[in-house]
Amino acid sequence: MSTKDYVEKDYYKVLGVPKDATAAEIKKTYRKLAREFHPDANKGDAKAEERFKDISEAYDVLSDEKRRKEYDEARSLFGTGGFRSGGPNGGAYNFDFGDLFSGSQTGGGSGGLGDVFGGLFNRGGRQPQPRRGADVETEVTLSFVEAVDGATVPLRMTSQAPCRTCAGTGAKSGTTPRVCPTCVGAGTVSRGQGAFALSEPCRDCKGRGMLVDDPCTVCHGSGRASSARTMQVRIPAGVQDGQRIRLKGKGAQGERGGQPGDLYVSVHVDDHPVFGRKADNLTVTVPVTFPEAALGGTIEVPTLNGPSVKLKLPPGSANGLTLRARGKGATRKDGTRGDLLVTVEVVVPKHVTGDALSALEQYREATASDDPRAALFQAAEGA
């Protein structure tokens, strides 16, 4: 879109909104008009299609805070088609914008006001734009304890960085790159798609905005080279297996002052021989004897990296009962800890002899009238 379009077209009038309309009002009005004049709703209506294009173009500018500000400044400076400067009778001098922005008609040199305001409207700027560095991905394997408590680990990464030989220009020593004539240094070109214009990387310069005629022998003109580095990365406490951590600004370096990319670390956690994990809670299975389960009592339970805890086992505890030791789990983001979930596993001895055998036989006789399967058969018969 040319600077001339900014000055001559009244986008507020196209949408039918006041100049002080809020972003929400502009969006609401655009949606209403777009539904009304959309080509799908007006088959074969050329006027409706043209109206839809104008609406879309106006919304494209007014919905973008930066572009709307540029548009308002241009309209304020140039008015609505004529340059606002006092004429002989207090009026305005009117100039043909085709001449005003196309360049001088006499002599070489100046490119007209279009060159002056090209930077203001960010249309075809001649200076190469900063380019953000690429994101980098890596993996790390932690022990179970490191994942629960957090750890600082060294990560060796290979990523693209500005070539040291040519200082990132891509040009051989003693030469300099030139501005790409296709995108005029912007690194992107616009491609029309009906009522919309799509921006895509320039194919000639591959988005760099510059062309290299005599490339650097190390990076072969790309301006980038592989760089290996080792950095200490803090993995937060409570990280889980399979989690992906984003470290902002720790990726590849940018070009021409652009921001660095981000580092994404995929975490793998080794199993623990005793403890497991469910979200912020740790889990452990503790064996208990039959008398402990039947009569109840106090059992001692190990914790991860801390002293053991004692839990009360209620009488008649069934196999698979879960007890909870609060605050003995994994560390949460807010610094608090989850719980330790203790699952009871009743252990039945494989061999019983002597007094233990006699005692169990007496127990069986004493409880012979108590059939634990009676309710099962009743339910089966009633089904």
Binding-site positions for Zn(2+) read 163, 166, 180, 183, 202, 205, 216, 219
Distances (CA, A) of 178 to 173, 186, 257: 14, 12, 18
Distances (CA, A) of 171 to 130, 159, 181, 329: 18, 21, 17, 57
For 174-206, b/e burial (b = at least 16 CB within 10 A) is eeebebbeebbbbbebeeeeebeeeeeebeebe
Distances (CA, A) of 208 to 130, 182, 230, 252, 260: 9, 11, 28, 16, 16
CB atoms within 10 A of CB 169: 23
Which is it for the CA torsion 371, 372, 373, 374, positive or negative? Answer: positive
The pair of three-digit structure tokens given for residue 33, joined into one six-digit string = 């008009």
Residue 192 pairs in a beta bridge with 197
The pair of three-digit structure tokens given for residue 272, joined into one six-digit string = 């623990």
CA-angle at 24, arms to 19 and 26, nearest 5°: 45
What's the helix, strand, coil split of the chain in %, to 5? 30, 25, 45
CA-angle at 63, arms to 98 and 16, nearest 5°: 75
Torsion of CA 121, 110, 182, 180, to 10 degrees: -100
Contacts 24+ apart (CB under 8 A), 293-296: 293/317, 293/318, 293/319, 293/344, 293/346
> Could you say which DSSP state residue 86 is in?
B
Q: In this structure, what are the phi and psi dihedrals at residue 151, rounded to the nearest 5 degrees?
A: -160, 155
Binding site, annotated residues:
163, 166, 180, 183, 202, 205, 216, 219
